[in-house]
Structure 1
Amino acid sequence: MAASSRHVSTPLERTFRAAHEDLPREAPGSEETTALLLRLAGALPETPRIVDIGCGTGPATLALAGATGGEVVAVDLYEPYLRRLQARAATSGLGERVRTLVAPMDDLPLPDASADLVWSEGAAYIMGFDAALVSWRRLLNPGGALVLTEAEWTTTDPSPGARAFWDAGYPAMRTTAENVAAAQRAGFTVQALYLLPDADWDAYYRPLAHRIELLRDGGADPAALDEVGREITVREQFGAEYGYTAYVLRRR
Structure 2
Amino acid sequence: MPVVTNSPGPADVFWMAHDGLPRQAPGSVATTELLLGLAAPLPDRPRILDIGCGTGAASLPLAAATGGEVVAVDTHAPFLDRLRSEARAAGLAERIETLDAAMQDLPLPAGGTDLLWAEGSAYLMGFDAALAQWRRLLAPDGVLVLTEAVWTTPQPAAGARAFWDPAYPGMRSTAANAAAAEAAGWTVRATYLLPDSDWAAYYGPLADRIDALRARGVDPAVLDEVAREIDVRRAHGDDYGYAGYVLRPHGRAK
Shorter-chain TM-score bucket reads over 0.9
**Separation in 1, partners of 2:17, 2:233:** 18
Q: Paired residue for 1:193?
A: 191
Confirm or deny: 8 A CA contact 1:49 1:70 kept in the other structure.
Answer: yes
The answer to whether residue 250 in structure 2 is matched with residue 225 in structure 1 is no
TM-score (norm 1): 0.95
Task: Specify the SS of the correspondent of 1:59.
Answer: coil
Does the 8 Å CA contact 2:192/2:243 hold for their aligned counterparts?
Answer: yes
Q: Which amino acid aligns with 1:225?
A: L
Query: Which amino acid in the other structure matches residue 207 of structure 2?
Result: A
Q: Which residue of 1 aligns with 2:3?
A: none
Which residue of 165, 168, 174 corresponds with 2:166? 168
Q: Distance in 1 between matches of 2:162 and 2:220?
A: 22
Q: Please point out which of 132, 142, 155 is paired with 1:157.
A: 155
Q: Aligned-pair distance for 1:118?
A: 0.1
Tell me which amino acid in the other structure corresponds to 1:66.
A
Alignment of 1:135-150 (within 5 A): 135-150=133-148
Counterparts of 1:1-252 in structure 2, within 5 Å, are 11-252=9-250
The CA RMSD measured in Å over matched residues stands at: 1.1
Gaps of at least 5 residues in structure 2 are 1-7
Which residue identity does 1:42 align to in structure 2?
Answer: A
Work out the CA distance in 2 between the residues paired with 1:138 and 1:239: 35
- Give the residue type in structure 1 aligned to 2:244: A
Matched-pair identity in %: 63
Give CA-to-partner distance per residue, 1:71-111, whole Å, 9 cap, x none. Answer: 00000011111111011101110000000001110111111
1:181 offset after TM fit, Å? 1.1
SS at match of 1:229: helix
Cα distance in structure 2, aligned partners of 1:54 and 1:21: 14
Once the two structures are TM-superposed, the CA of residue 246 in structure 1 deviates from its matched residue by 0.1
Residue 48 of structure 2 aligns with an amino acid whose one-letter code is I
Aligned residues of 1:57 and 1:81 also touching (Cα < 8 A): yes
Q: In structure 1, what is the Cα distance between the partners aligned to 2:98 and 2:199?
A: 26
Question: Aligned residues, how many?
Answer: 244
Q: For structure 1, which runs of at least 5 residues remain unmatched after alignment?
A: 1-9
Q: Aligned partner of 1:203: which letter?
A: A
Q: 2 CA distance for matches of 1:187 and 1:115?
A: 18
> Quick one: which amino acid aligns to residue 229 of structure 1?
A
- Provide runs of 4+ in structure 1 moved above 2 Å: none
In the TM superposition, residue 250 of structure 1 has moved relative to its aligned partner by 1.2
Q: 1:23-51 CA distances to partner (integer Å, 9 max, x unpaired)?
A: 01000000000000000101111110000
Q: Which amino acid aligns with 1:60?
A: A
3-state SS in 1 of match to 2:26: coil
Aligned-residue offset at 1:119: 0.1
Separation (CA, whole Å) in 1 of partners of 2:40 and 2:54: 25
Contact 1:153-1:175 at 8 Å conserved across structures: yes
Taking the aligned partners of 2:70 and 2:174, their CA distance within structure 1 comes to 29
Q: Distance in 2 between matches of 1:38 and 1:178?
A: 23
Secondary structure of the corresponding residue to residue 248 of structure 1: strand
User: Which whole-Å CA distance do the structure 1 matches of 2:52 and 2:182 have between them?
Assistant: 23
CA distance in 2, matches of 1:154, 1:111: 37
